[in-house]
Amino acid sequence: MNAQQARSIIEKGGFVAILRGNYTGWFTRIAQALIDAGATAMEVTFNSPNAAEGIREVRGQFGDAIMMGAGTVLNVKTAEIALSAGAQFIVAPNTNPDVVRYCAERDVCVAPGAYTATEVMTAVDLGATLVKLFPADLGYFKNLRGPLNQVPFVPTGGVELTNAADFIKLGAVAVGMGSAIIGDYVKQGDGLQIMQQRAATLVQAIRAAKQK
């Protein structure tokens, strides 16, 4: 899968479900619930236990049914480990030129984090496939995107179920959501079912927003 194919899948689904925390033993169950909800992309952050193993497990069981990404990739070594585990896109909270170039040279979808206009355009010039606006604020995003409407933004951090569609309406190609969609509650009782329902509601809201 090349960078543009991965970007298209992320844009089609409109959101990336982010797993940050200890989900050892839960990766495939969470992935199944997300697939059933209509999600297209899932990210495991590399400051989480057994991140590489989680990516490998999901890819092994589901193949391309849901696209797997690696988050909090702060250096090239981590990118190498993530891609070896089967990650299909790379995400970071910052813009590390070495990581962006490493991915761009291999035609791997990479979404470095940026906040200011200068940071955003630095990421673009380095070859970023997408730009993770981090942290995200609706009013700030509206003002930033005004002069930078050619940039494929994925706002993350500050995106909630109540405002995700608003980011899409303002021009975001997708949003990233962690605890707002996946939290420790999934490990308790009917938590997986609750998460699936929340994800399905989000999918519908984003689809509606993209049609306007």
CA-nearest of 194, 184, 200 to 14 is: 200
pLDDT given for residue 86 in this prediction: 98
- 147: preceding bond cis by omega (within 30 degrees): no
Per-residue pLDDT at 103 = 98
Residue 31's pLDDT is 98
pLDDT digits (tens, 9 = 90+) for 94-151: 999 999 999 999 999 999 999 999 999 999 999 999 999 999 999 999 999 999 999 9
Indicate the pLDDT class of residue 154, thresholds 50, 70 and 90: very high
The average confidence (pLDDT) of the chain is: 97
Which positions ≥6 away from 136 have C-beta within 8 Å?
Answer: 155, 156, 157, 158, 159, 167, 175
Block residue for tokens 């021009």: 171
Q: What is the pLDDT of residue 134?
A: 97
Which pLDDT does position 13 carry in this prediction? Answer: 94
- 46-79, pLDDT tens digit by residue? 999 999 999 999 999 999 999 999 999 999 999 9
Domains annotated on the chain, with CATH? 3-205 (3.20.20.70)
Catalytic, out of 43, 57, 210, 212: 43
Whether 132 sits among the annotated catalytic residues: the reply is: yes
Residue pair 192/33 in contact (Cβ under 8 Å)? The answer is: yes
Q: Supply the pLDDT for residue 129.
A: 98
First CA to last CA distance, the chain: 30
Indicate if 43 belongs to the active site: yes
Question: Is the pLDDT at 212 greater than 80, yes or no?
Answer: no
User: Pick the catalytic residue: 11, 57, 80, 132?
Assistant: 132
CA distance 184 to 163: 22
